[in-house]
Every structure is written in C-alpha cells, then in structure tokens.
Amino acid sequence: MIRHATIQDFDRIMEMMIDFANQSPYYAHHNPIYNDEYVRRLLCEFIKAGVILVGEIDGKIQGMLIAGITPDVWLPNVRTMKEVAWWVDPEHRYSTLGYRLLKEYVKCGETMVDRGVIDGFTLTNMEISPELDLEKRGWTKIESNFLYEGV
C-alpha cells in the first residue's frame, strides 16, 4: 500500500534515511549523525510543502519517497517540487514497491501542477540506482551532477 506519511511514521522514515545515507556514493553522507529535532521539523516541512510517501508491505513501511517544493534560485516565482530521497529496503527492490511509489509521486506532482502549486517536479537518480527508462515514462533529462574527487 502506498500512502502519505504522518508524524507517526517519522521514526521509521528516519531509520530508512540512515540506510539511504549509507548507500550514497558520496562518502560524506555515510554514518550520519542526525539532529533528531531538526530532521523531524524538516519532515514536517516536506509534508506541508511537498510530499512524503511511504510504501507498506504486510503492514510495515519498506520504502519512501520524499520531495520538497523550492523556488528557483534565479526565478523565485518558478516553484519546483524536487525529490530528495527515494528508498526501498533491499529485500523489496525487485518488487513493484519502488515503481508504485514513483507512480504516486507522479500523480501528486501532476495534481500540484494542475492546481498551480508548482510549475514542475523532478526526480534524481544516483549512479547506483537501478536502470530505469525514465524517458519512456514521460521524464526528460535536464541536468547531471558531478562530485569532484581529484585527478
């Protein structure tokens, strides 16, 4: 089941955020030490201005997708919802859970665009993410990020 997260889900979401950070190809994210109060307030902000979706299997949260709405740096009237975390526990990665989270994210994004809340919404794929044919699913690649690690 895919649903919108509530405050009662924050402990589980924070557990998954630690796993998410430890899987990042950016080693500075590994072994995170979170400020509990800060993260809980941030999650509340994502619920108010964005979306937090959770995916349950057998009544337990096994995945999440978090996105926040931000104004463009140069054009503050342009508001974009940006996915900041998309995670499925390893034992459920080959199920439909990740796709169902993405499908619900698209539905939420389209509704927000239709209502004039946002101008568009984005998805970020890390290099370690499974290969998805996002263009086939209606997405357009607009940029890539690179981390300098020296020559």
d(CA 62, CA 71): 31
The distance of Cα 13 from the centroid of its chain, to the nearest Å, equals 11
- Residue 3: predicted pLDDT: 98
**Mean per-residue pLDDT over the chain, rounded:** 92
C-alpha separations of 26 from 23, 32, 81, 87, 88 in Å: 9, 12, 23, 16, 19
d(CA 24, CA 147): 12
- Residue 94: predicted pLDDT: 86
Classify domain 2-137 at the CATH topology level: Aminopeptidase (3.40.630)
Beta strands in the chain, from DSSP E residues, in sequence order: 2-4, 50-57, 60-71, 79-88, 120-122
- Residue 124: predicted pLDDT: 86
**What are 1's two structure tokens?**
């089941």
**One pLDDT digit (tens) per residue for the chain, 151 residues:** 999 999 999 999 999 999 999 998 888 999 999 999 999 999 999 999 999 999 999 999 999 999 999 999 999 999 999 999 999 999 998 899 999 999 999 999 999 999 999 999 999 876 655 666 778 888 888 888 887 888 8
Beta bridge partners of 86: 65
Instruction: Encode pLDDT of 12-48 as tens digits.
Output: 999 999 999 999 888 899 999 999 999 999 999 999 9
Q: What is the pTM of this model?
A: 0.91
Nearest to 28 by CA among 145, 148, 151: 148
Mapped onto helix, strand or coil, the DSSP state of residue 127 is: coil
**What are 151's two structure tokens?**
């020559």
- Residue 75: predicted pLDDT: 98
